[in-house]
Structure 1
Amino acid sequence: MTVRSPRRPFITTMPDIPEIRVAADSRQWAQDGARLVLEATTRAIETNGRCLMALSGGSTPKTLYERLATPEWSDAVRWSQIELFFGDERCVPPDHPDSNYHTALITLVRPLRLRADRIHRMEGELPDATVAARRYEDRIRSVAGSSAPAVPCLDLVLLGLGDDGHTASLFPDTPALSDNDRLVTVGQAAQGVRTRLTLTLDMINRASMIVFLVMGAGKAQIIGRLLQPKTEADRKLPAALVRPHQGHVIWLLDRPAAAALTTMSN
């Protein structure tokens, strides 16, 4: 696998291999991420008249959201034609500091003054997480205009990455990872807020474009295992199972996150 950075950031290998994009620094990483969002949303809007986009939680996406809210990008992206969903959510109230919705609200939604009816949050505050998952599936189907058993196709899904290889709230060796009877299910984390809501792997893999957002040296080891797997355990990590049926995967990394990849060229 050849990883080139930073001027020609897309790396094309074989059809079933994801593209890897390595930015020189955090500023370039955010710019590259904003450009990907612009290109993917514009393409969806020009094709379908709107874009169905799922946001990621965690700390890293905040850097991208803050960049998208700057004047350089705020008018370039056609936000009025984008429906925003969430890939996962902690089972906390929407004003809780750990809420993915809350993070998106303060870094993206409020700065851009996005319409409330375009923001489709997961109801993490409901006492029964199974009910919350079912209600969110109903919301996705209603907005997408897709009845069961069909699986709607999101145009763009942003994903983060945990040190254990989890993505969204699909954790290793948990039932949520194999739940493909639903669009949304209940995930269980090993630490922090344990109970989560998450899109299922099947739902994610129906997306047209999936972008993993990863920064920092702390992610280098797991990136090496995912993008240059050596064992069957590496290949079974949740993030490694993100293989869209007809869509496209891009890994957006900074240099520290890409440090464990064995081939680097300028």
Structure 2
Amino acid sequence: MSPHSQIEVFPDKADLIYRAVEVVLTEAHKALSHRDRFTIALAGGSTPEPLYQALAKQELPWDKVHVFWGDERYVPATDPQSNEGMARRAWLNHVPIPASNIHSIPTSAADPSEAAQQHEQELQSFFGTPSGEFPALDLILLGIGDDGHTASLFPGTPALDVTDRLVTVGSKDGQPRITFTHPLINQARLVLFLVTGASKLPALKAILSSKEDARQYPARLIQPTGSLVWLLDEAAGSGLNLG
């Protein structure tokens, strides 16, 4: 566990999402105050969707909010499996955020590695970081799978070994995905995990253990230099020893 980490357990998903909204808004206002912009990388899956729906109802200076994604399936944004598509439908289509502030992961190149390189160059250009340096996003949202993966960093895959790039190609069941690397994620000022459901408990125990192998449970690689916050519902967190 990161020395700057905390774990919060909530009775149900609704309470967890309420707290997640609080965290996002707090980090947004902090970033706007200090840097006059807020950078956030979104997660996919069903867990964060109600968070995005709640954020669609908030008042923020949307022209100063910049949205990225921690990973993306290699499909068009119109595909039902697209993380970007879900976030647009739940949130981004409902607020006056400039199109130029939505930093989509490209998924149309014939070679996914070319798309990963394109997105890395966009990140370097946006943050003004030279090659070899990792920029710090204000907030990166993550979840975990039952297998212990996070973003598109899956157990035993080559993406886990990439430490000199911002973006790389992940793989799930032979299907390519574009993903932030763990060194990029670890530069974030805050990493916020949202975890719900009893099926996540075995992996969660392993991830929070001091003994398990990060190649088997890749979310163990997330040890940010900033803060690390885990928001769990009762089903995911009830079996943990948090004493």
Q: TM-score range by the shorter chain?
A: over 0.9
Question: How far apart, CA to CA, are the structure 2 residues paired with 1:263 and 1:158?
Answer: 22
The residue type equivalent to 1:260 in the other structure is: G
TM-score, length-scaled by structure 1:
0.86
Inter-partner Cα distance in structure 1 for 2:117 and 2:24 = 28
Q: State the match for 1:84 in structure 2.
A: 67
**Structure 1 range deviating more: 121-130 or 196-205:** 121-130
Answer whether contact 1:42 1:78 (CA < 8 A) is retained.
Answer: no
Alpha-carbon offset, residue 17 of structure 1:
5.7
Which structure 2 segments of 5+ residues have no match?
none
Q: SS of the counterpart of 1:140?
A: helix
SS of 2:141's equivalent in the other structure is strand
Q: 2:188 aligns with which of 186, 207, 214?
A: 207
Alignment length, in residue pairs? 243
Q: Which residue of 1 aligns with 2:142?
A: 159
**Residue 24 (structure 1) shift:** 1.8
What residue ranges of structure 1 are gaps of 5+ in the alignment? 1-13
**Contact between 1:178 and 1:201, CA under 8 Å: does it hold in 2?**
no
1:35 — aligned with what?
Answer: 22
User: In 2 relative to 1, CA 263–243 (structure 1 residues): closer, same or farther, beyond 3 Å?
Assistant: closer
Structure 2 counterpart of 1:186, which letter? V
Q: Which moved more, 1:252-261 or 1:232-241?
A: 232-241
Letter in 2 for 1:146: T
Secondary structure, counterpart of 1:256 in structure 2? helix
TM-score w.r.t. length of structure 2: 0.94
SS in 2 for 1:137: helix
Q: How many Å separate the matches in 2 of 1:103 and 1:203?
A: 23
Partners of 2:195 and 2:242 lie apart in 1 by 18
1:182 is matched with 165
Following superposition, which runs of at least 4 residues in structure 1 exceed 2 angstroms of deviation? 77-80, 230-236
Q: Once the two structures are superposed, what CA deviation does each residue of 1:60-116 show, in whole Å capped at 9, x if it has no partner?
A: 11121112123xxx11x4432111111000001111001111011100101223221
RMSD (Å) for aligned C-alpha atoms: 1.8
2:6 partner letter? E
